Amino acid sequence: MNRLLLCALLFALPLAACKRRASSTPTAPEAPAAPPNPEVDLKALNEAARAYTMGQLKDPASLEDLVKEGFIKRLPTPPPGKKYVLDTKKATVSLANQ
């Protein structure tokens, strides 16, 4: 019995010492915004708006809510002369002229 306990301890101690340690290197700064891709960006924004509604049990009041709550990292850059618009009643995002 004592041998079994000793073997178990000898096996478990090295595993316990192998915990992953936090990296001491600083995190890289955020990458710059990608060039506009309305088709991909609209799909991602609409998915984020649906996820927000499901997760928060309410519709987002603004696109910034999606960023604040972590559903997207940042708002995508719209094409020149356009902007992304949230329909708060339907919780859908569309592209509109500025």
**What's the confidence (pLDDT) of residue 66?**
97
**Does 18 reside within a domain?**
no
Write out the residue range of the structural domain in which residue 85 sits. 36-98
C-alpha 95/C-alpha 80 separation (Å) is 11
At 37 the pLDDT is 93
pLDDT confidence of residue 26? 56
**Structural domain includes residue 1:** no
Going from the C-alpha of 1 to that of each of 9, 21, 65, 78, 95, the distances in angstroms are 12, 34, 60, 70, 72
Inside any domain, residue 94: yes
**H or E element: which one contains 38?**
helix 38-56
How many domains are contained in the chain?
Answer: 1
Is 63 part of any domain? yes
pTM beyond cutoff 0.85: no
Element (H, E) at 86: strand 82-87
Domain contains 43: yes
**What pLDDT tens digit does each residue of the chain (98 aa) get?**
666 655 555 555 555 555 445 445 555 566 666 788 999 999 999 999 999 999 999 999 999 999 999 999 999 999 999 999 999 989 999 999 99
